[in-house]
């Protein structure tokens, strides 16, 4: 039985490759939650897969979705897949924001591969701030420009004063 599924998966993948199918043909992102912590962001994606892709993932595992999931945040560098399954994934981006005058700033970036941004919108995009505040955005094709005040330890760590040591 497992070999039949593997053969069907292989034939299906070859068909996808032959016809150049895009990820949005088999991976439908329902909502995205962006958790902010310092200059890092963790993205939780909830998605559904088409029937064939569900069988493929059941047979061979979600590891084969990794390139498509990473390319979803293609306009960020240093994206790392934390976990993935048939219904969702968690991706981390270190250095997604920058500290400026006591605030962490996160610029808007298109979702999707760098050379082919999403054309279809994501129904719901949620931003969760470190203090727990939540903001929802609807029908988006990019992350939102957001900011929040850095905590005192963050500012002290990034702007520490290094006394000069005199060896006289």
Mean pLDDT of 16-39: 76
pLDDT for the residue 21 = 46
pLDDT at 23: 53
Kindly state the average pLDDT of the residues 30-56: 94
Which one has a higher pLDDT value, 81 or 9? 81
> Do the domain assignments include residue 149?
yes
**At residue 43, does pLDDT exceed 90?**
yes
Residue range 83-105: mean pLDDT, rounded: 95
Secondary structure letter of residue 24 according to DSSP: G
Range of the domain at 37: 27-48+68-158
**Total domains present in the chain:** 1
Q: Is the pLDDT of residue 168 over 90?
A: no
Q: Is 18 within a domain?
A: no
Residue pair 123/138 in contact by the 8 Å Cβ criterion: yes
pLDDT of residue 13: 62
Q: Does residue 5 belong to any structural domain of this protein?
A: no
Q: Is residue 63 part of a domain?
A: no
Domain contains 6: no
| 55 within domain boundaries | no
- HEC per residue, 76-121: CCCEEEEEECCCEEEEEECCCCEEECCEEEECCCECECCCCCCCCC
Q: What is the pLDDT of residues 134-161, one digit of tens each?
A: 999 999 999 999 999 998 665 555 544 4
Q: Does 163 map to a domain?
A: no
Residue 163 pLDDT exceeds 50: no
């Amino acid at each position: 039985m497992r070999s039949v599924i593997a053969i069907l998966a292989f034939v299906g993948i070859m068909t996808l490759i032959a016809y150049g199918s895009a990820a949005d043909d088999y991976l439908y992102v329902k909502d995205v939650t962006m958790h902010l912590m310092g200059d890092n962001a963790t993205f939780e994606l909830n998605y559904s897969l088409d029937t064939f892709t569900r069988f493929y993932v059941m047979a061979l595992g979600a590891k084969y979705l990794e390139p498509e999931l990473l390319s979803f945040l293609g306009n960020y560098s240093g994206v790392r897949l934390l976990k993935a399954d048939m219904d969702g994934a968690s991706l981390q981006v270190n250095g997604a924001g920058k500290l400026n005058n006591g605030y962490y700033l996160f610029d808007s970036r298109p979702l999707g591969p760098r050379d082919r941004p999403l054309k279809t919108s994501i129904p719901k995009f949620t931003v969760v701030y470190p203090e727990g505040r939540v903001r929802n955005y609807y029908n988006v094709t990019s992350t939102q420009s957001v900011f929040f005040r850095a905590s005192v330890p963050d500012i002290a760590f990034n702007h520490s004063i290094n006394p000069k040591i005199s060896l006289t």
